[in-house]
Structure 1
């Protein structure tokens, strides 16, 4: 019995987006049915290093399969400039719920990118107009790529407008997709008037206003992952149908955290959690629905669901590096 070590290339290869989207959708459903355990994300603050550690454990049971694991992730703001390392690094331990045997240790950074894109795709599938063919993206960093690829898996995206304050990032994005989509750079408002908009920036002052989106635009608010971050104006949020992934996380560190703290929004302004749409306890978009917003903070159950996809696909392909982590050799069976 061996543990499988999977690096970022393995995770990128085997986290096939259509499968991850399905798995994340099932995870949202399990969460709504109460078939998950997901303790509150814990933090270790490291002010001397301008960073922190975060632990995200979870277990879920979809009825067809169950899975467990924990992601150990950080945010160290000085990494890119001082150490030539990403700001965010992650390690995922994927375990057998029956025995607790560590089935795999894998790169959690790429895994996070994939499951975040998958969550936006699930929300888009439930909340965007059926014939959505244009996608706007505000922020051309690494997550913008996965947003496009995942959302294009659930809607027939043809036109893409990307907005960013750094021209070089826009140019890299355009070069990457020039042969797949009608893609161009544009303003925030041009991006926002697409059928679907994903915002993936770390700003604390809103950059997308009500006037910057179309009458039926669906917005995936991805960037806010800490208290104080805020991409969408209060006016936009007040006028929109708001769907969240988790009440505690979103009100603490999601897109709605600032207007909640200020008393601009209350619990009554939230239409529901994405899991309610998945299980059908609340309807998704109707012909009368106007602007919709999905506040995505990222849940540990998404990481576990995505890790299961990666592990199963990698094992089938004979990929990764097997090693005897716990010293049991070849005894027993997985």
Structure 2
């Protein structure tokens, strides 16, 4: 499973530098969604290691750093690496830089050799979409053809691209407060889908709903949802953030990606920390759903919610897809000389 068992090869081993553009070109959703699904299965089966995400707070710069290492082994491959990511909300205005940037070091598990250093900003965006697609595939009704998205930022594009891989999406309703972002989204996809702008309630009544906003006060209510809407709650990534009214996560079939992360900073963090919900309200982790190929059709006939915080195993799986797709093509250098 490692790069090679021939020690002579390591004398000429090279590290590949991979840019954001190259990640965009080589990280195809058709390959990424099954890779992320395999990562969730490995995590459930105990063949993955993922220490808790660590934070370095930088209040003087209104930002923070986060480190996310992981190793995982599937039936067919193994992979390891670490993502170093920042969140600096003032970056666009102060430095003309993205709020979130990341770097991923993809590493051979057997030798520890750094096989690649790649941009992780696009990597993160796409693997987040892929996680929603995995959850949608297991939780949404099989003939789901309409997708609502609340928030027209960069993640909205990944949500549509990924979810369209697992469901026959025809109609898309996008909701946002920014008219320019709405127009860009519609213009991007209007040749492929029946895309329209709408209210949050109109988006939430679709077969599938993805919420990708940074709000701290709930904007989606129980009354907004359709009878069997599947919700991908993707926006909450810090304490105090919440996109869905508490009644939704309390009443729906609730699936999380990781207990520690979701209770700390996921969609459920506010009702959890105020003791409005507890463990009895959490129905499953996504890895268990993937491995058991559950839930049954009865669950899909009611609203379902996937609380996603983003896991390091997803980054490792995505980095492997990129590295394998490049297959030695790219800028290479000897990092260890």
Same structural fold, with TM-score higher than 0.5 when normalized by the shorter chain: yes
Structure 1 residue 285, shift from structure 2 partner: 4.3
Question: How far does the alpha carbon of each residue in 1:44-72 deviate from its partner, in whole angstroms, 9 at most, with x for none?
Answer: 11111110100000000112111000000
Alignment partner, residue 52 of structure 1: 64
Alignment partner, residue 112 of structure 1: 124
CA distance in 2, matches of 1:277, 1:227: 26
Q: Does 1:81 align with 2:93?
A: yes
CA distance in 1, matches of 2:170, 2:222: 24
The 8 Å contact of residues 140 and 173 in structure 1, kept in 2 or not, is answered as: yes
Structure 1 residue 237, shift from structure 2 partner: 1.3
CA distance in 2, matches of 1:245, 1:235: 20
> Which of 221, 224, 240 lines up with 1:228 in the alignment?
240
Where does 1:1-334 land on structure 2 (aligned, <5 Å)? 1-280=13-292, 283-288=294-299, 289-315=301-327, 318-327=328-337
Question: How far does the alpha carbon of each residue in 1:156-175 deviate from its partner, in whole angstroms, 9 at most, with x for none?
Answer: 00000000011111000000
The 8 Å contact of residues 10 and 319 in structure 1, kept in 2 or not, is answered as: no
CA distance in 2, matches of 1:326, 1:158: 50
CA distance in 1, matches of 2:247, 2:329: 49
CA distance in 1, matches of 2:17, 2:28: 18
| RMSD across aligned positions (CA) | 0.9
Helix, strand or coil at the partner of 1:89 = strand
Structure 1 residue 239, shift from structure 2 partner: 1.2
Helix, strand or coil at the partner of 1:226 = coil
Specify every segment of 5 or more residues in structure 2 that has no aligned partner in the other structure, as ranges. Answer: 1-12
Helix, strand or coil at the partner of 1:293 = strand
CA distance in 1, matches of 2:316, 2:309: 15
Question: How far does the alpha carbon of each residue in 1:164-209 deviate from its partner, in whole angstroms, 9 at most, with x for none?
Answer: 0111110000000010000000000000000000000000000000
CA distance in 2, matches of 1:119, 1:285: 20
Structure 1 residue 319, shift from structure 2 partner: 3.0
Structure 1 residue 12, shift from structure 2 partner: 0.6
CA distance in 2, matches of 1:6, 1:138: 31
CA distance in 1, matches of 2:215, 2:307: 15
The 8 Å contact of residues 7 and 320 in structure 1, kept in 2 or not, is answered as: no
Structure 1 residue 287, shift from structure 2 partner: 3.0
Structure 1 residue 98, shift from structure 2 partner: 0.5
CA distance in 1, matches of 2:295, 2:120: 31
CA distance in 2, matches of 1:285, 1:236: 20
Question: How far does the alpha carbon of each residue in 1:213-249 deviate from its partner, in whole angstroms, 9 at most, with x for none?
Answer: 1010000000000010000001111110000000000
Helix, strand or coil at the partner of 2:298 = coil
The 8 Å contact of residues 224 and 255 in structure 1, kept in 2 or not, is answered as: yes
TM-score, L = length of structure 1: 0.96
CA distance in 2, matches of 1:220, 1:213: 12
Helix, strand or coil at the partner of 1:319 = coil
The 8 Å contact of residues 126 and 285 in structure 1, kept in 2 or not, is answered as: no
The 8 Å contact of residues 51 and 77 in structure 1, kept in 2 or not, is answered as: yes
